[in-house]
Structure 1
Amino acid sequence: MNNSNNNTPSSPHWLFTQLLVLLMLCAPSTMVQAKDRLVATQAEYKTALKQVEPGDKIILKNGIWQNFEVLFMAKGTADSPIELTAETKGKVILSGQSNLKLAGEYLQVSGLVFKNGYTPSNEVIAFRKNKKQLAFHSRVTEVVIDNYSNPDRQESDYWVSLYGQNNRLDHNNFVGKRNVGVTVAVRLDSKDSQQNHHRIDHNYFGPRPILGSNGGETLRIGTSHYSLTDSFTVVENNYFDRCDGEVEIISVKSGKNRIQNNLFYQARGTLTLRHGNGNTIDSNVFLGNGIDHTGGIRVINRDQIITNNYLEGLTGNRFGSGFTIMNGVPNSSINRYHQVINANINHNSFINLDHIELAAGSDAERSAVPLDSTLSQNLFISPAAPFTLHDDVSGLTFTDNLSNFASKDLNPSMAKGISSKNITMKRAANGLLYPSDASLAQYGASKNLIPTLKQETGASWYPKTEPTVAFQSGNIIKVNATDDELASAVAQAQSGDTLLLNDGRYNVSRILAISKTLTFKAANPRQAIISFERPSLFEIQDNGSLQLDGLVINGLNSPDSAGNSVVRTRKWGMLINYRFEMTNSIVEQLNVNHSFHFFDSGSRAFADMININHNQFRYITGDLFRLNKETDDLGIYNAEYLTLNNNQFEDIEGSVASVYRGGTDESTFGPHVSVNHNVFTQVGLGKRNKTGASLKLHGVQMSQVEDNKFNNSAPIIVEHTVGEPKTRIANNEFNNTASPQVTELVAAGKHTADINNNKVQKL
């Protein structure tokens, strides 16, 4: 058969062939339009940005990009977004004064690392160029912000601000924010940023150190000004690892948000429904492991749903408790506390929580009790009933809940809705505790709950390292008592090392700058004797922590001038929290002139902890621990924990400790002061001791002074301010020493301190 006619211009076969050729020619031309543009300089980047089309990718060459303010402004499409990425993920470092602004539509940023600097603007990453040019349908993924903090810890900025609508923030690492300001904020300050439907998922929120003031939230959705506006933000599958900035880890200040499937690990603070209505808190896991101030969920406002959450081992109380339902303010202004109405709290597991606070915050202002709210099919497991009722809770209806503690320990209205049963608990494959009895499966969180794991979050290529170096975790460096050998050893040591001092007398001719974690330890206790010729022996600087063990320190060779100190921090403006420990040592003869102190904190310096155990302090003209520099009354203070145990204080003209926290803010947990089993002899009686006290505690939140002996010393003076401070002074001997003085500076009426079983006698 002759088929030649099938290829004539008019034949169907010819037409089909031509169409195929045309399609093949068109397809490559579409692919050609999407370009990968590798750029090596900021100028090349700006040129590439002017040329990008949907589907294009701008690739930053590996290396350090110093002082690079990136404006990524373009318009992609849903099928062909425009990307900004790294040549190799993690190998492009934006440092110095760098930041990123993205504006437009369908943009994606990935693979960048911000470290070794801080933003020159209000944000490290902003989903907008300015108030009018926002980002929509855009994504930031696998980006790292690592300790990229303003060196002034009270200078505020945000690490990420989400504006616009339908944006996603996922698989990022946010670690070590140390200055004031929210780590990630969802902003609702324009119509185009409201009802935004953002998604924040699979991020690793790494350790955020204690800030020591307000302004340390990890995530905030909205502000009080826009709190009656709905956001529709979804926060899911994130890992909050020791986010300790302040009492609010997540602060929800808008409506219709969903917080689900997140894990909070040893995080001090709570997920707080601070403002806004109709939020859902679903399937989150809170693991406190008995760490101080670990909290769960705090409920405020209307129509909140709290369901299928698992909370275990949380120690927090008051506003930071394992579970809190607040009182509101009648006819509340938008920035205060709105009444809890119509909360639905069901199928949650509350396992070994130290405190569940109901009608919390009740006072003359916050007098609106919770109403029309239901708690049903929750599981309460605890050695004893953890509930504290601060006001009328008849507006909370308990229905078909289960506990292992006696109903007689409950308020009668609660007892009707909480059945008591002998319950055996067993860990399931998901690592969480459930009743062994399968017939109780309807109570508490579901066994289908899958906790979010740390390794499932953040950028897989960036390590999740520990935030602090442990004392005595490195090498041992032996030091002899020869000229400058100690200073040389400090310079050569690495963080975690121990300087082991052989017997002898060490005269130090320069201030030893401590900018790493170091231990100074005597090879034989109290046989290494240190004197110093400068105004201070040690200065703790950023990244520094100091441990002293078995030393003798005297001031015989110190300058004959007032105001010397053995240890000081930088005089102003430390960013990084430090630790100081001393044990089994002697400090003496700090008396070449008046006001010779032992430890003197600078302003805006903050200690995570100061532990002083089994030491002798004698013949000192100044104070021992001066943690009183934040007198601007902004709720800022100098140390979270001060612990003095089993020490002897003799002939100290100043106070042993002066700790100050002023202002009316209630967003922090500290300071904490613990003074136990010490002997005070001739303490605080010097004419220059302005405190008039052996211990002066102003605004301290937790004070424990027990089993001490005070001989011929100035009194303990405590001044309570805000935050319902807890003070216990018990089982002490006061010989020829006045009784403790406690004053309430804010609350009306008699002081709230627990003062009992002390012996007061005149010699």
Structure 2
Amino acid sequence: MAKSVIFLALAASCSAPVCAREFLVRNPGEYAAAVGRAEAGDIVRLADGEWKDFPIVFEGRGRKEEPITLAAQTAGKVILTGASSLKIAGEWLVVSGLVFRDGSAPGNEVISFRRDSRHVATNSRLTEVVIDRFNQSDRRREDRWVSLYGHDNRVDHSWFAGKGNAGVTLAVIRPKGQPHANRHRIDHNYFGPRPPLGSNGGETIRIGTSEESLSDSFTVVESNVFDRCDGEVEIVSVKSGGNVVRENLILQSQGSIVLRHGNGNLVERNVFLGKGKPHTGGVRIINTRQTVRDNYMEGLAGTDFTSAIAVMNGVPGSAINRYHPVTGALIANNSVLDGARITLGAGADAERSAAPQDTRFTSNLVTGSGSSLFAIEADVKGITFTDNAASVQVPAELASGFSTAPIALKRAANGLLYPSDPALAKRGAPGDLAPVTLAQVGPDWYGKPDPEAAFGSGRTIKAGSGGLETAVAAARSGDVIALAAGRYTVRAPLHIAVPLTVSGPKTATIAFSGPTLFALEEGGRLRLQGLTITGEAAPRRAGNAVVRSAPTSTIANYAIEIEGTDFAGMEAAPGFDIIATTAATFADHISLHDVTVNGLSGTVLAAAAETGDKGLYAAEQITITGSRFTRVGTLAHVLRGGTDESTFGPEVEISDNTVQGSGPELLALSGVQTTLLTRNAFRSAGRITVTHSVGAPQTRIIDNRFINTANPQISRLYPQGTPQVQVSGNSVGGDAS
């Protein structure tokens, strides 16, 4: 062992044959020497401070009552940065108190419960460990933050938030040909905000994969908090059998607990609080002998696959990686309160034609409003409905299994709503639920993340003529730069790395002479309000843009909001765009309202930079409303390729606009999941095309005027999926004026 290792023998009262020892190490060499000597009961402590580019291998064999421990000298004060990682191999090992931050894994895993395929961890524990925004530099590069191999391991009281690149946050890995039970326990962890990924691979937890999904893992996921976990449609993706997901708190998280593959799983006593956030879901049920009981779901706004309860249709004779039919499911004593949707036979199409069978839906309590609370997309004769209560009328196929009447609710001491009527006491979630709290999860020495700074939440900086560049350079998160009337000449791109608002009266005119006015960087979000922007001095060559997302991959999602702003002088150079998105960047939302564009050679919103077939796209939500466009090349080009069904977007709303003249193609929307085109007037405009891909895309084209403009063309790329299309109230004709 290196001479500089500090060795502390705890020999004051030692009953074991060899006393437990502590090794305090200050560099990788000392660490390797100490681990090489560590025996059952020993503790290896990393000295407080930053450990950069440190790939840790922690291997040893402890005993049940005397594990070998790797710990921080002081919990939370050992920071693993740069290209750091941790591999755990052996048995009866404990790791605690470490923080991974300001770096990324050198391989495909930050923490792995194995050294290699022949040396895995068993009966080992990861506790009070933090992984905080430890992301690859390219959001498309996939890695996992925690990979659980072996069996009987535990991850508890840890903190995982800010994963922005592709890959599961925590995965139970069940290699092909190894169908053995895992019996892992994942409990009392804080799974914090994970922004929408914009592609498949954004799950927070995944248990197994399809290859070994017909065998049982017996993993338990309990008493965790999932806070704003919005990566994709599957928050917890169960792809094996015999697992238990119970007593978790799911807070404003887009997506669902999905019983994707595997049989005989149990989802019970979880609390879902959606607070009306779009796409907040509950439980999606697939396969055989699944039990979903005693769950509390309030304010879930998801529909279709992310309904509060979604019972899917299956594929007859399904391949192992598709959708096995639902058989023998029990859905009992769940409360769905103020919910948007319960969907039965979800996803039914020509392929998914096998309706649920031998399934019971009993003693559930359902409240909501309107006639769309239940969606029946397939034959429900295989589902028996008994002793349920609903506050609204239910479809005739379900009526015999529901009592329907207004339901008065009262909030109990546990913070949850229950019926005031004693006769309904046995319907819905049990009264003894005790939702896990934020204080009970994660290490108590690492705070939960604050909400992201909102536009307008910071200082107001007044900028006169010539002061715009200086103000942008000095801006902090949430600041507002208020321009005075006058002309602002910008010769170089303004780089935006924080949430920033630039506002002014219309008499504040920004003229830019470079190819880009605003260049978004990592962390940048931009709001433009009440300005006039001219591109008359921009280069006379193709590729100019007013706002451009980063030229290389960014992890943080950006946003662009433009309101009450006029654009002109942008048709002399070819391909001049207002907003140009770039590959490997992603926007939570892009919105234009009360915008005027007079003369544009390119595209108002160019959102088709992701050209591959992996389901990547540029922005989650796109809205263009109440605006006026004259002589524009294209209004919007939005593309989402591939056949993946794991994302919500893109969602596009184009409403209450007028367009006078355009290039040959006015709108090209391909792979968009939700399209609303309403109350627009298109005069002498180009083609409008909507191309559906897989899933259940929804397209509504209603109450528009097409004047010397062709009807929209709607087509499908793939036979899978069930597009929902409404085209009504539109008028088509020539221009008599």
TM-score category, normalised to shorter length:
over 0.9
Paired amino acid for 2:350: A
- Quote the residue 2:389 is aligned against: 402
- State the Cα distance separating 1:383 from its structure 2 match: 2.0
SS in 1 for 2:216: coil
User: After superposition, where does 1:485-496 map in structure 2 within 5 Å?
Assistant: 485-496=467-478
Cα-to-partner distance string for 1:287-330 (whole Å, 9 max, x where unaligned): 11111111110111111111101112112122121111111112
Q: TM-score, normalised by structure 2?
A: 0.96
Equivalenced residue count is 724
- State the Cα distance separating 1:26 from its structure 2 match: 10
SS in 2 for 1:621: strand
8 Å CA contact retained: 1:640, 1:671: yes
- Quote the residue 2:43 is aligned against: 57
Please tell me whether residue 665 in structure 1 is matched to residue 652 in structure 2: no
Cα-to-partner distance string for 1:517-563 (whole Å, 9 max, x where unaligned): 111111xx112111112110111111111111111110122112111
Distance 1:445 1:751 in 2: 34
Instruction: Find the partner of 1:741 among 702, 713, 716.
Output: 713
Identify the range of structure 1 (367-376 vs 737-746) with the bigger mean alpha-carbon deviation: 737-746
8 Å CA contact retained: 1:742, 1:751: no
- Quote the residue 1:322 is aligned against: 308
User: After superposition, where does 1:90-105 map in structure 2 within 5 Å?
Assistant: 90-105=76-91
8 Å CA contact retained: 1:616, 1:649: yes
**Could you say if the C-alpha distance between residues 131 and 190 of structure 1 is closer, same or farther in structure 2, counting changes exceeding 3 Å?**
farther
8 Å CA contact retained: 1:661, 1:698: yes
- State the Cα distance separating 1:381 from its structure 2 match: 1.6
Please tell me whether residue 196 in structure 1 is matched to residue 182 in structure 2: yes
SS in 1 for 2:35: helix
- Quote the residue 2:266 is aligned against: 280
User: After superposition, where does 1:514-529 map in structure 2 within 5 Å?
Assistant: 514-522=496-504, 525-529=505-509
Instruction: Find the partner of 1:433 among 397, 403, 417.
Output: 417
Please tell me whether residue 125 in structure 1 is matched to residue 97 in structure 2: no
Paired amino acid for 1:500: A
Distance 2:530 2:641 in 1: 36
Paired amino acid for 1:400: D
- Quote the residue 2:150 is aligned against: 164
**Could you say if the C-alpha distance between residues 575 and 422 of structure 1 is closer, same or farther in structure 2, counting changes exceeding 3 Å?**
closer
Instruction: Find the partner of 2:630 among 645, 650, 663.
Output: 650
- Quote the residue 2:4 is aligned against: none
Distance 2:273 2:311 in 1: 20
Distance 1:714 1:41 in 2: 66
SS in 1 for 2:543: coil
- Quote the residue 2:693 is aligned against: 721
- Quote the residue 1:296 is aligned against: 282
User: After superposition, where does 1:105-254 map in structure 2 within 5 Å?
Assistant: 105-189=91-175, 194-254=180-240
Paired amino acid for 2:686: A
SS in 1 for 2:29: helix
Instruction: Find the partner of 1:601 among 578, 581, 593.
Output: 581
Distance 2:87 2:177 in 1: 20
Please tell me whether residue 40 in structure 1 is matched to residue 12 in structure 2: no
Distance 1:26 1:526 in 2: 78
8 Å CA contact retained: 1:558, 1:592: no
SS in 2 for 1:297: strand
- State the Cα distance separating 1:573 from its structure 2 match: 2.1
SS in 1 for 2:619: coil
- State the Cα distance separating 1:451 from its structure 2 match: 1.1
**Could you say if the C-alpha distance between residues 192 and 57 of structure 1 is closer, same or farther in structure 2, counting changes exceeding 3 Å?**
farther
Q: Percent identity?
A: 46
- Quote the residue 2:490 is aligned against: 508
Please tell me whether residue 260 in structure 1 is matched to residue 240 in structure 2: no
Distance 2:156 2:451 in 1: 22
Instruction: Find the partner of 2:396 among 396, 400, 411.
Output: 411
- State the Cα distance separating 1:29 from its structure 2 match: 7.0
- Quote the residue 2:429 is aligned against: 445
Distance 1:634 1:384 in 2: 37
Identify the range of structure 1 (384-393 vs 557-566) with the bigger mean alpha-carbon deviation: 384-393
- State the Cα distance separating 1:751 from its structure 2 match: 7.7
8 Å CA contact retained: 1:164, 1:192: no
SS in 1 for 2:384: strand
8 Å CA contact retained: 2:669, 2:689: yes
Distance 2:574 2:651 in 1: 29
- State the Cα distance separating 1:193 from its structure 2 match: 7.6
Distance 1:556 1:362 in 2: 53
Distance 2:723 2:414 in 1: 47
Distance 1:392 1:439 in 2: 31
Identify the range of structure 1 (113-122 vs 718-727) with the bigger mean alpha-carbon deviation: 718-727
- State the Cα distance separating 1:749 from its structure 2 match: 12
SS in 2 for 1:695: strand
- Quote the residue 2:607 is aligned against: 627
- State the Cα distance separating 1:191 from its structure 2 match: 7.6
8 Å CA contact retained: 1:59, 1:85: yes
- Quote the residue 1:18 is aligned against: none
**Could you say if the C-alpha distance between residues 104 and 192 of structure 1 is closer, same or farther in structure 2, counting changes exceeding 3 Å?**
farther
Distance 1:178 1:32 in 2: 46
Distance 1:285 1:733 in 2: 46
Paired amino acid for 1:399: T
- State the Cα distance separating 1:110 from its structure 2 match: 0.8
Cα-to-partner distance string for 1:173-202 (whole Å, 9 max, x where unaligned): 110111111110011227878312111000
8 Å CA contact retained: 2:696, 2:723: no
- State the Cα distance separating 1:282 from its structure 2 match: 0.8
Distance 1:196 1:621 in 2: 59
- State the Cα distance separating 1:32 from its structure 2 match: 7.4
User: After superposition, where does 1:328-347 map in structure 2 within 5 Å?
Assistant: 328-347=314-333
8 Å CA contact retained: 2:294, 2:334: yes
Cα-to-partner distance string for 1:32-88 (whole Å, 9 max, x where unaligned): 722221111111111111121221111111111110000011111111111111122
**Could you say if the C-alpha distance between residues 434 and 631 of structure 1 is closer, same or farther in structure 2, counting changes exceeding 3 Å?**
same
Distance 2:58 2:557 in 1: 35
- The structure carrying a bigger strand percent of its residues is 2
Please tell me whether residue 477 in structure 1 is matched to residue 461 in structure 2: yes
Identify the range of structure 1 (171-180 vs 450-459) with the bigger mean alpha-carbon deviation: 450-459
- State the Cα distance separating 1:28 from its structure 2 match: 4.2
Unaligned runs of 5+ in 1: 1-24, 686-691
- Quote the residue 1:270 is aligned against: 256
- State the Cα distance separating 1:263 from its structure 2 match: 1.0
**Could you say if the C-alpha distance between residues 750 and 665 of structure 1 is closer, same or farther in structure 2, counting changes exceeding 3 Å?**
closer
Unaligned runs of 5+ in 2: 1-10
**Could you say if the C-alpha distance between residues 709 and 95 of structure 1 is closer, same or farther in structure 2, counting changes exceeding 3 Å?**
same
Paired amino acid for 1:295: G
- Quote the residue 1:388 is aligned against: 375
8 Å CA contact retained: 2:695, 2:723: no
**Could you say if the C-alpha distance between residues 50 and 747 of structure 1 is closer, same or farther in structure 2, counting changes exceeding 3 Å?**
closer
Considering only CA atoms, is the larger Rg found in Structure 1 or Structure 2? 1
- Quote the residue 2:656 is aligned against: 677
SS in 1 for 2:526: strand
Paired amino acid for 2:587: A
Distance 1:659 1:188 in 2: 38
Instruction: Find the partner of 1:582 among 538, 552, 562.
Output: 562
8 Å CA contact retained: 1:218, 1:243: yes
Distance 1:28 1:224 in 2: 49
- State the Cα distance separating 1:31 from its structure 2 match: 9.3
Identify the range of structure 1 (26-35 vs 629-638) with the bigger mean alpha-carbon deviation: 26-35
Distance 1:158 1:749 in 2: 30
Instruction: Find the partner of 2:525 among 545, 569, 580.
Output: 545
- State the Cα distance separating 1:675 from its structure 2 match: 1.1
SS in 1 for 2:443: coil
Please tell me whether residue 361 in structure 1 is matched to residue 347 in structure 2: yes
8 Å CA contact retained: 1:165, 1:192: no
- State the Cα distance separating 1:761 from its structure 2 match: 2.2
